[in-house]
Amino acid sequence: MKVQNLLHFICFTIIFAVTPEICSQDKKEVLPSGALNGERYRVFISTDIGGGDDDDFQSLAHYFIYGDLFDTEGIISSPPKYGTVKDIFKVIDLYEADYPYLLRYSAKYPSPAYYRAISMEGAPVVPAEDIVHGIKNTDEKLSEGARWFIECAMRRDPQNRPLYVLLWGCATDLAYALSANPDIVKNIRVIYLAGSNELKDPISVRYIEKYHKDLWIVQNMYTYQGARLGGDQSGDLDNFTFMQSHVRGHGAMGDWISLLKGGMVKMGDTPTVLYLLKGTPEDPTKPGWGGKYVKREGYPNWYVDIKDPEYMLYEVKGWNSEWWGAKTISCWREEWLRDWQRRMDRIINAPEKKIE
């Protein structure tokens, strides 16, 4: 082994070993809010499913297992590569097979027909040029999915709840929608799984930075890696064993996603869902399953990764090696995985009493 690689391995191992201690202060705090604590959020998902990374299939199946807790208003395909609404339908078809078993636990699980009705095609490609001159609602660049996003964002909610927008791919449709109707900015909160998605569509992000500085957004560039790295990886909690023990054999969705990504927990976009499940979603600076963040200088509502070495995980592969803020997710690893395990068991176990 080369000396450089050996040093990287040692550093990686040491950081993993101290993860629980680094996050011990966060874990002493009570996570007061979130969907698992009784809050009900409006959600809109933009995903590069099918056209990008197979982990979007895993994340969408995971979301559907928790679908009874959310008011889901839209799911659209998005760049960087050409995923289509057919890829969303593929997961809905699997959900349909598991749906009767989930209904035994809650009548609030949306029907497969409902999910199909709100799933639409987004932008096929990222912008090739600056979009500062504005996009009209009739512009061909404004996808069916972006139009649906605008409609959902402008819809009056009786409880005046914001629309949480979970971006699992590029920010293309978000940028086009903001350009076509800037008024949506006051009604939405964006949880952006940036990472390599931002590198593949920097034009949209730069446009939002310059012309929509008041947008409420969590820009998760590195923190999300804490879903698969660090934390408690002992026993059945390691990525492969957990997926094969607690997801495989659990309905159509479980069997499908347990074959993806080498049979491992990748779940690259799931931190956006974890963010809403437990924590304080209205305040990104507070701890939660989906990580915690700091305010970006010069922006009133823009939050970014914590660039503190104590919260960083190191990995010698991929487009990046220093995953800033990742420990703010990995320290909750056992909690969120065990909760998902119980949720997957709904497919194979009948409840003693139906949960409404």
Q: Comparing 293 with 315, which gets the higher pLDDT?
A: 293
Is the C-alpha dihedral spanning 126, 128, 131, 133 positive or negative?
negative
Per-residue pLDDT, 17: 38
In a domain, 9, yes or no: no
In a domain, 24, yes or no: no
Per-residue pLDDT, 354: 59
In a domain, 1, yes or no: no
In a domain, 354, yes or no: no
Lowest mean pLDDT segment, chosen from 127-131, 212-216, 319-323: 127-131
Asked if residues 46 and 87 have their Cβ atoms less than 8 Å apart, the reply is: no
In a domain, 3, yes or no: no
Average of pLDDT values for 211-234?
96
Rounded CA-CA distance 75/78 in Å is 10
In a domain, 23, yes or no: no
In a domain, 16, yes or no: no
Per-residue pLDDT, 53: 73
Reference 56, options 27, 31, 76; nearest CA is 76
Domain that holds residue 291: 29-345
Per-residue pLDDT, 24: 64
In a domain, 356, yes or no: no
User: Which pTM does this prediction carry?
Assistant: 0.91
Dihedral (C-alpha) 183, 213, 287, 333: value to the nearest 10 degrees?
80
Ordered strands of the 302-304 beta sheet: 119-120, 71-77, 42-47, 163-167, 188-193, 216-220, 302-304, 294-295
Residue 177 pLDDT more than 90? Answer: yes
Residue 1 pLDDT more than 60? Answer: no
Residue 79 pLDDT more than 50? Answer: yes
Count of structural domains within the chain:
1
> What CATH number is attached to the domain comprising 62?
3.90.245.10
Average of pLDDT values for 255-274?
95
Asked if residues 146 and 31 have their Cβ atoms less than 8 Å apart, the reply is: no
Average of pLDDT values for 15-29?
55
Residue 317 pLDDT more than 80? Answer: no
Average of pLDDT values for 92-117?
98
Residues listed for the chain: 356
* φ and ψ at residue 64, rounded to 5 degrees: -60, -35
